[in-house]
Amino acid sequence: MTPEEALAGGLKLLFALAVLRWPLPGAFLSILADGLDVVVMNYVDLGGGGIRDYHAFDKATDLFGYVTFILVALRWHGRDRSIALGLAALRLTGIAVFELTGSRAALIACPNLFESWFLYVLLRDAWSLQGAARTWLLGVLVGTKLVQEVLVHGMQVLDRYNLDDVLQRVLQH
């Protein structure tokens, strides 16, 4: 393991563990940490050669978040718990198929709606949402995640750019 992999993995583990104590803020921190590995990959040089196989590293360290999200979801009851566990199983199946075959289609066929559902339940309860507000929140979370899955795994948009390129284009406009 390179020092850069240890740093990025350590951040993902640390923030995933926060989910166990503070589920909602911890979830946001864990999701943020999932994106920080790209920052480490592009901007941190600790002399160890960086993150060697980003996709394999990312999927392996994503498991930190999945495990803590699942542990919190196991505290839930009824439909919330059943849906969470079903969506977690779906995504983990997709990851396993991706790892075995290399096919990103598995990640689109088994999207990470577990994360969306997890956030939905926590936000719904924190904000005491009712009726149309619940539907809107779930729609935004699911829609955003599905678009992300298609862009990242289907169209592979991020594979064609590094973080510097994206930031330079954003700052120029």
> Residues 85-109: pLDDT tens digits?
999 999 999 999 998 999 999 999 9
pLDDT at position 144: 96
Residue 20, token pair as written in the block = 């166990």
For 104, phi and psi rounded to 5 degrees?
A: -70, -15
**What's the mean per-residue pLDDT of the chain?**
90
Token look-up 């699911």 returns 142
For range 109-124, the mean pLDDT:
97
Comparing 2 with 130, the larger pLDDT belongs to: 130
Residues 6+ apart with CB under 8 A from 36: 8, 11, 12
Residues 6+ apart with CB under 8 A from 71: 19, 20
Residue 69, token pair as written in the block = 């999200």
Structural domain harbouring 150: 3-172
Decide if pLDDT at 127 tops 80.
Answer: yes
59 within 8 A of 37, measured Cβ to Cβ: no
pLDDT at position 71: 98
Answer whether 0.75 is exceeded by the pTM. yes
> Residues 57-87: pLDDT tens digits?
888 899 999 999 999 999 999 999 999 999 9
CA angle 5, 13, 166 (to 5 degrees): 55
- Determine the straight-line distance between the first and last CA of the chain, rounded to whole angstroms: 38
For 155, phi and psi rounded to 5 degrees?
A: -80, -15
Count: domains in the chain = 1
